[in-house]
Structure 1
């Protein structure tokens, strides 16, 4: 043992040993920050293993640079400087995270006022007793220098050995990146979340990644001028669809409740899964809404997302502007661009209070920053809800019934009218991990694809969750004074799996085509207006880009005052051209262009030799879709709304803080006193939490059928079948 100690002491007195000591200390400090200060939401051995090793590659690379230096003083000075910079970046992020639940970005550092707003006078309050751990090595090093017990190695390190260490660090980083891509495919191209980047690659790598994003965004933004706004305004004016007099303003002043139906596709509406001769209605409650005279339902509503998936859908729903052709707008531009989104528009047109409820991490899709730019007053994320366990959650957040139940305590304190969005997650790929225990019961399909097999069960769970929330709205009286919008964000079954799905929906796998894939991009879109009797099912072709103008007109707000490229779905002037994000792809009542092929929409037949008239019509549609996408892209990448003056006051995102939101709600209630319009105040300062009831599958149906054997599916318009 003594020999080992002597060997360690001797090794530590060499230049390489000194660098290794700094590396090990930095590595240990980073792990301390990961598991004490940050919430990386690591799950399972693999993610924890990646998090444990990720400080090493960049640490070796940077600290190893000092080994190239021959001069003794210069070597130790450079090594310590690199270490101090790494430490400063780590510790500043640890402190910053305590206030903002995010990591320091280039934009944050450039916007010093916003940093000081959060960390200035209150900085000392962010320090914790355990922070002494971060400084123990400095104390020890100072003591050694003071006692002259520190040995300065004057022997230069071999250049070839230095290069070998650099090469090793690059190899190690490549392995780290490879493992990260296995855990989260398209990690760097799609962005997802700052937390994901840090968890996978570490804080220094996150800084480089964020710097590249910031540079690209700044490059696009800096090249734009106010003159670029003119063709955009002209496009908006020429393509504005006048509101339908029968519906304009019918929901004026009502609360707005958005229900995000994760991965739900239109084909499940009115669909029944046949199991051994018994039909199981997948979404009985949503079906009842779909056929209600109080609902404006759309049978040809398409998702228009690309790589940004859910974030693209949110961007379109909130702003009537498309996501990006590559990556996620919310990740790349959402936290910095000037935007005029629904929450802020309604705050200035009706005094709406806004909030989002979502049982996942706030940083996913950069929501915590984007929502501030959109004007959301509150964001209740995973940190506000029940602690995630294997029983109540899976990798994408809390299961829906738990999320809704936990949201009530915050919803009831919101001032009315409010604009809210509830983002569900249980019906999320892979559809095999979110339901356990007494929630298991709805039969699984019997195909060769487990993803398809589980999809109907999670969709049924989502349906039951939505019904429970509607029951709560009715029990509290919120229902009659609200408009509830339900939308599917994107496909749940990917195109590559559709041939396996085909027999369940009455199609032939062998003849399944790209046209069928295009039609599978339909998602539910329903607007429930309690008390309305002239609703119905509309066959208008439209998409997520059209949601905001449609809602605005129902609320009595003319959408032509804003830079929005969508059109009111209820307007007779709606073009019925659905532009898909992939260039040249579109869907209209007459023609569909998908994967480079053109089809007749009514029959699905491919058009191989169009006549002159047909070709002109197709070319005109292509030009229209290209113009819509180009206009949106100009606004988004050029940040053109900053030049736009429509009388709406400029939004100051620094005024939004999503920490201690419940306390802020209650403080506002107390300040308003008898003028408070929250449900809690209207209910005589009594909570409504007990009015939310969400029985599990076993309580609802009394038996389980999840292990049922071979089945087929049928589609029907009836909703009175044997619902399970």
Structure 2
């Protein structure tokens, strides 16, 4: 073995095999790639090879033992890529993208969550590096290796051959893989994590160049789509909330399965349950879905206030923070004289909020600097929900009416940590600490919202306000399917995972009766719905959603990865299911048509953001927002 390793190709092949085996095993252990059939299993097995062979082949051009050191350096870099994606996937159920790397300011706020994803066996991902380093230092024969340049050329050619064979087989199983996909899982499954990283870099560079070459002509397709997609308002509800304050309550990481769920015979969220059943004249949409991507909460905010999807990679809040927007706060201000405010118990730079809110035309931003942030009031990412709501009342009272306010909670956030004195419900018993803690933090959030309703009534703000409650994104990722199968008492299939993307949407309009509304919809539909309640026709603005109360509302809910759900069909990464029964179906003309429609909707939305097309969109009666008019000071926010 020593003699072989010290041969001209032995060290090179050892490095390739170690990285290959490590990567393939990580695919099986760490990632939910949805591998189906022998072809996909074969592609998963071979796809780490091409990148390793090509990169290590480049190292062979170095002279003498330096080639071995370069192989070790490249192997270390690829290990960093692998392990970084493992950590990111455990936390976000997704793969890293270059735009994510621009969001490093957020990492300090997620320290508890990131470290909680580490496992005791993680050191195994670095064992191959230790083996190679030991051979380089202690094996004199390895130190004396002299590689021929022809070996380097041969290795690179071999790596390219492996890549093109891999790509050809992938295109056979998944045609137009690189041109018609919004799902990073597909690229990793078919081409491998390292090739995906290169692909992502190329895609990012191409997207970043789009703005410079964009013109008003590029807006034509998006305008045509949104105009033809428009849904006339419900005549009875159009203007029903005109002039009323709007109080929007963000339920962090709250999924709809929590509603009416009992743990050990006790309701987890008794107050929200009562609202979902028509209490306080709430209308509850029980088939409402989040549509976020990697931006999670930031994507939800973007979509709710702009009726535009978040980006396929990274967060538009960070990467498109200087874009032109025609946002709900600015429209309400210019058309109906509304004051706007966001209230959040975290610091204003998180998710680049202090910059992008100016682009939205938000007048006031009450961040952590406006709240009492002593240690007793903090948990996990920031201020606990109960003191947050309690302190927020006076801030709401200080706003000029009518106002549009957005209150963002924090406690029910991964990894779902709660102090013992704040817990009024026992933890779950699945053995999964994330899922078990989720019930406690959800109960705490429920109690906080109930207390806030009481405070709103005492302040006099309740009676004259539209109150909207929504969940921003899923709280429990697919990494916890075993525990979720126990919680829901059902097998967690791809179909069930899609159904689990439901989040609550509740809207109370003063003077209107509540109840359960079974309409299918998503976060993209909230902005036109709120505008129509104000008596503002949404047609002249560019929006990709439709009014949830309209008889013409489009019930096709697009997910960020290109999957979709309708009352009849659920499409999960190309697999078709009956939405009601969960039975897997064959694709048909209707499901193909729906897929084409969803792809078009996502593509046009992406073009609007990547090319900053709203700077070319003139709307009669609406003035573009000037971000220089806004300044968020330490005492609340000033305009």
Taking structure 2 as the reference length, the TM-score comes to: 0.69
Determine the structure 2 residue equivalent to 1:446. 429
Determine the structure 2 residue equivalent to 1:392. 377
Report whether the alignment pairs 1:259 with 2:223.
Answer: no
Determine the structure 2 residue equivalent to 1:547. 526
Provide the rounded CA distance (Å) in 1 between the counterparts of 2:565 and 2:82.
Answer: 38
What is the 5 A alignment of 1:605-620? Answer: 605-608=583-586, 610=587, 615-620=588-593
Deviations 1:353-377 (A, max 9, x none): 1111111121211111111101111
Contact 1:312-1:322 within 8 A present in 2 as well? yes
Quick one: structure 1 residues 661 and 644, their matched pair in 2 at CA, closer, same or farther if it must change by over 3 Å? farther
Deviations 1:228-274 (A, max 9, x none): 1112111111110000112111110011111010010111112111x
Quick one: structure 1 residues 193 and 499, their matched pair in 2 at CA, closer, same or farther if it must change by over 3 Å? same
Equivalent residue for 1:640, pick from 603, 613, 616: 613
Unaligned stretches of 5+ residues in structure 1? 1-165, 201-210, 666-724
Of 175-184 and 421-430, deviating more is: 175-184
Equivalent residue for 1:576, pick from 538, 547, 555: 555
Contact 1:565-1:631 within 8 A present in 2 as well? no
Provide the rounded CA distance (Å) in 1 between the counterparts of 2:603 and 2:85.
Answer: 32
SS at match of 1:545: helix
SS at match of 1:479: coil
RMSD (Å) for aligned C-alpha atoms: 3.1
Quick one: structure 1 residues 346 and 439, their matched pair in 2 at CA, closer, same or farther if it must change by over 3 Å? same
SS at match of 1:365: helix
Determine the structure 1 residue equivalent to 2:36. none
Determine the structure 2 residue equivalent to 1:525. 505
Report whether the alignment pairs 1:621 with 2:594.
Answer: yes
Deviation at 1:620, TM superposition (A): 1.2
Equivalent residue for 1:383, pick from 330, 353, 369: 369
Provide the rounded CA distance (Å) in 2 between the counterparts of 1:351 and 1:554.
Answer: 15
Deviation at 1:631, TM superposition (A): 1.8
Deviation at 1:558, TM superposition (A): 0.8
Provide the rounded CA distance (Å) in 1 between the counterparts of 2:592 and 2:581.
Answer: 20
Deviation at 1:218, TM superposition (A): 5.0
Quick one: structure 1 residues 287 and 416, their matched pair in 2 at CA, closer, same or farther if it must change by over 3 Å? same
What is the 5 A alignment of 1:43-58? Answer: none
Contact 1:479-1:530 within 8 A present in 2 as well? no
Determine the structure 2 residue equivalent to 1:54. none
Determine the structure 2 residue equivalent to 1:409. 394
Equivalent residue for 2:291, pick from 304, 315, 326: 304
Provide the rounded CA distance (Å) in 1 between the counterparts of 2:226 and 2:428.
Answer: 46
SS at match of 1:410: helix
Of 620-629 and 212-221, deviating more is: 212-221
What is the 5 A alignment of 1:14-25? Answer: none
Provide the rounded CA distance (Å) in 2 between the counterparts of 1:180 and 1:588.
Answer: 35
Determine the structure 2 residue equivalent to 1:280. 266
Report whether the alignment pairs 1:599 with 2:577.
Answer: yes
Deviation at 1:404, TM superposition (A): 1.5
Deviation at 1:445, TM superposition (A): 1.1
Deviation at 1:663, TM superposition (A): 7.9
Report whether the alignment pairs 1:320 with 2:307.
Answer: yes
Contact 1:194-1:363 within 8 A present in 2 as well? no
What is the 5 A alignment of 1:458-497? Answer: 458-497=441-480
Determine the structure 1 residue equivalent to 2:178. none
SS at match of 1:354: strand
Provide the rounded CA distance (Å) in 2 between the counterparts of 1:230 and 1:307.
Answer: 28
Deviations 1:456-505 (A, max 9, x none): 11111101111111111111110111001111011111123133222322
Higher-Rg structure is: 1
Quick one: structure 1 residues 180 and 465, their matched pair in 2 at CA, closer, same or farther if it must change by over 3 Å? same
Contact 1:289-1:528 within 8 A present in 2 as well? no
Contact 2:564-2:570 within 8 A present in 1 as well? yes
Q: Which runs of 4+ in 1 moved over 3 A?
A: 166-189, 191-194, 196-200, 211-218, 660-665
For these two proteins, the number of residue pairs brought into alignment is 477
SS at match of 2:214: coil
Equivalent residue for 1:508, pick from 480, 490, 496: 490
Taking structure 1 as the reference length, the TM-score comes to: 0.62
Contact 1:296-1:527 within 8 A present in 2 as well? yes
Report whether the alignment pairs 1:225 with 2:215.
Answer: yes
